[in-house]
């Protein structure tokens, strides 16, 4: 990977700008909060979550399988409120990127993220991600999820750029590897300061 300037910055969202929307830690905390057998819930989650993330089922349909397949003492709305509450902005990266865009009018930033629609829509609105991103390549909207090479190829087609004109940041190294296999310059996001330095060096 060289130090050539880039045209497009692709970014993951969960683990880079925000906490993961519905990650393992959040599911464990939900199980404890609502008195659910975590291992049973996790098995059902693993069975169906990919289908939710590519937009084939709604959040309510996901919950019908994973949580509300039996009578519960809590409401669906209470559980969804907990899910949404797990989204928190990570320190530094989002606000810095917004300022970077303001000072670099030619910079284009595009998300490539795996997210179910309701969670994705909530996070875009709650954290005003339109201020950062010029476009969203979200699994729930395009029917593909990382590491499917198709989602990266679609992103390249949307921005009309060659792979080596793009950089990509993800907190999961195997997803960085997936982008690199297509010729995109991928970087493992280990934290705000390290990624900030990489971007500044490339610019």
Give yes or no: residues 101 and 170 share one domain: yes
Helix axes 192-202, 93-103, angle to 10 degrees: 20
Kindly report the CA angle at 110 between 134 and 3, in degrees rounded to 5?
120
Q: Which residue's entry shows tokens 């709604």?
A: 58
Q: What is the pLDDT of residues 133-154, one digit of tens each?
A: 999 999 999 999 999 999 999 9
Return the pLDDT at 39.
Answer: 97
Q: What is the pLDDT of residues 4-30, one digit of tens each?
A: 789 999 999 999 999 998 999 999 999
Does residue 1 form part of some domain? no
Q: What is the DSSP letter of 44?
A: H
Q: Are 1 and 101 in contact (CB under 8 A)?
A: no
Give the domain extent around 178: 8-20+88-202
Residue range 153-174: mean pLDDT, rounded = 97
Any idea what the CATH number is for the domain that residue 46 is in? 1.10.150.240
Domain total in the chain = 2
Q: What is the DSSP letter of 73?
A: S
- Report the predicted TM-score, pTM, of the whole model to 2 decimal places: 0.91
Q: Are 100 and 107 in contact (CB under 8 A)?
A: yes
Nearby residues of 7 by Cβ (< 8 Å), 6 or more positions away: 108, 159, 161, 165, 166
Instruction: Give me 96's structure tokens.
Output: 């810095």
Instruction: Give me 180's structure tokens.
Output: 């690199």
């Amino acid at each position: 990977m060289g130090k050539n300037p880039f045209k497009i910055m692709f970014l993951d969202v969960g683990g880079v700008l925000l906490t993961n929307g519905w990650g393992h830690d959040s599911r464990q905390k939900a199980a404890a909060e609502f008195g659910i057998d975590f291992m049973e819930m996790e098995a059902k989650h693993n069975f169906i979550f990919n289908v939710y993330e590519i937009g084939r089922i709604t959040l309510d349909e996901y919950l019908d399988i994973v949580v509300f397949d039996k009578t519960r003492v809590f409401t669906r709305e209470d559980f969804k409120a907990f899910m949404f509450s797990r989204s928190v902005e990570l320190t530094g990266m989002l606000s810095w990127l917004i300022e970077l865009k303001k000072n670099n009018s030619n910079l284009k930033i595009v998300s490539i993220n795996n997210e179910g629609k309701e969670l994705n829509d909530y996070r875009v609105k709650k954290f005003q991600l339109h201020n950062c991103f010029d476009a969203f390549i979200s699994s729930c909207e395009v029917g593909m999820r990382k590491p499917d090479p198709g989602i990266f190829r679609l992103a390249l087609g949307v921005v009309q750029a060659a792979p080596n004109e793009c950089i990509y940041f993800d907190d999961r190294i195997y997803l960085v590897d997936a982008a690199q296999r297509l010729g995109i310059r991928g970087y493992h996001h280990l934290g705000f300061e390290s990624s900030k330095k990489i971007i500044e060096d490339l610019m």
